[in-house]
Structures are given as structure tokens and as C-alpha cells.
Amino acid sequence: MSRAKDGAGPGGARLAAALQRFRVQAGLSRRELAARADIDRSVLSRLERGAYPHQVRSETLSRLSAVLNCGDSLHLAAGTASPGVQDLSPMLQQVHSALGETAIREGLRRLELTAVASAFEARILSRDGKQVDEMRLCREVGTATGEPLEPRGGCSSAQPAWRRFWIGHDAAHTILKTICKWPYVLSEETDANYLAGLLLAPDRLVQAAVRNSLLRELRPAWTPDCGGVVGEVAERLMIPGWVAVRRIAESGHLDYYLPSAEEEA
């Protein structure tokens, strides 16, 4: 029985375009990519030209994806279910296959990460409810995943935001490997950074911190200079400034927490 000539059809053309795009973005030559992915360079060349005469194995796509750090994009381009997609229910597999746009699949992935982080929120807050308690975060994630999680040591007291972020980052990686089902789209590291921000800075805490900053100092809410607000939110939640910027931008209904015209007056 002859094998499917995937390289000659639309799937082969999509895979060829995606593979070349991600390889160029990674700054790798064909020789370098073939060596790192442990595949024959002639096979890679035919894949990039859309001239590979056989069905591309999922294992081959997984090795290429791992080197290029491109999530399941190559599997989707080839019309092949990635190992992560194979773990989904049949209905979700159909949904995933129908979502050709990376932005749409990334949006659904982030909705899942938001839901996962929200499930932990009530159990990881400090006693006063104003911050996430890193020890509780480690304990709760360890309990939920069955993977013991120890807080990072060796960080000076002058760097609490650094220490807390990497604790959240470790927790995020543990959650991604054990709880999350939707396959990552861009890279696991991107998802870990995003999930760490959600865990350490839940929407409610971000909104409260922004409102407190604006009202306490009677700072105009609409001024172009918002560096002070970002700094205060980062300090209040004990997170890096870049995480504060992202979480302030992402927090839902943030406009409800901005001062009214009467409050600003």
C-alpha cells in the first residue's frame, strides 16, 4: 500500500511554509536544525520545499517543534494531532483542529490558564488577603499536582520580587505539566511566565492596588505618566515591574476601579 503523499498536497505546503518561518525566526540553518532535531538534513530540505513524499510522523514534528519552541504549530500545519491534542477528548480534538489561527488557539489556551489560576486564588492568599503567600502557593500546588514544590532559597532579602516570581514560575511549570490539558501554542516558557503572573497577581488584587494608588495620592488617572502606579502595584504585590505592567493591562474591568470625575476633583 502506498503511503500518503502529504508533501504534495495543501498540508505539505502549509507545513513547508510554517517550518521555514519558524526556522528563520530561530536563526538556524537547515544543517543546524537537522542536527539538533536529530533528523536527516535531506528530509528537512524536502519538508521545507513541500516535496516530502510520505506522511510526516508526529515524533518528527515533535522533535522539530522542541528545537524551534513553536508549540503545536507544526502539527497543526501538517494536519497531524500533536501528543497533547491526542490527550484531549474527541470533541476538543475537533475544536483544536478547526482553529487554524494561532491567535485564536493562544486565546483559548490563556482562558484555560486563567481558569486554573483562579481555582488556586482563595487558597494562596495571605491572611490579610492583600498578597499571595508564596508558602501557601507551594503547598497548594504541590497538593493539587502531587509534585512536591519547595520555595527557592539563596535569594537576598533585597530581592523579594525576584524570589517570588521564580517561585511562581516553578509552580506554573508544575501546573503546566500536570493539570493543564490544552496544548501550548507558542512555548511552554511563555505559558509559564504568563501563568506565574496570574498566580502572583490575581485580577482582584491588581484592581485594588491600582485604585489604592490612584486615590491615595489623588493622582490623575488619565495622565500619560503611569510609572508611579506601576511601581506601587509592583511593590504592593511584591512582583517585578514588568509583571505589574502586564497584569494591570490584562485585569478585567479595570476602568470600574478608576476614580470618578468627582473623586479626581
DSSP symbols for 141-194: HHHHHS----------TT-HHHHHHHHHHHHHHHHHHHT--SPPSS-HHHHHHH
157 and 181 housed in the same domain: yes
250 and 227 housed in the same domain: yes
Mean pLDDT score, 225-250:
87
Which residues fall within 8 angstroms of residue 53, CB to CB, at 6 or more apart?
3, 5, 7, 8, 46
Asked if residue 1 belongs to a domain, the reply is no
* Per-residue model confidence as pLDDT tens digits over 150-209: 876 555 554 888 889 999 999 999 998 888 876 666 678 888 999 999 999 999 899 888
Asked if residue 242 belongs to a domain, the reply is yes
Domain boundary among 176, 200, 224: 200
pLDDT at 193: 93
pLDDT at 265: 54
* Per-residue model confidence as pLDDT tens digits over 55-111: 888 889 889 988 988 877 888 788 776 666 666 666 666 666 666 566 677 777 788
The CA distance from 166 to 74, in Å, is 30
**DSSP for residue 7:** G
Domain boundary among 174, 200, 226: 200
Asked if residue 38 belongs to a domain, the reply is yes
pLDDT tops 80 at residue 231: yes
39 and 94 housed in the same domain: yes
109 and 194 housed in the same domain: yes
Burial environment of residue 29 by CB neighbours within 10 A (0 to 12, 13 to 18, 19 or more)? exposed
Domain boundary among 98, 114, 143: 98
Asked if residue 53 belongs to a domain, the reply is yes
195 and 209 housed in the same domain: no
pLDDT tops 50 at residue 5: no
Asked if residue 28 belongs to a domain, the reply is yes
110 and 175 housed in the same domain: yes
Asked if residue 86 belongs to a domain, the reply is yes
191 and 231 housed in the same domain: no
Total domains in the chain come to 3
165 and 243 housed in the same domain: no
pLDDT tops 80 at residue 37: yes
* Per-residue model confidence as pLDDT tens digits over 23-32: 998 899 999 9
Question: What's the mean pLDDT when you consider all of the chain?
Answer: 80
CATH number of the domain where residue 17 is located: 1.10.260.40
Range of the domain at 50: 6-98
Asked if residue 44 belongs to a domain, the reply is yes
85 and 127 housed in the same domain: no
111 and 191 housed in the same domain: yes
73 and 132 housed in the same domain: no
91 and 108 housed in the same domain: no
pLDDT at 177: 87
CB 125 within 8 A of CB 132: yes
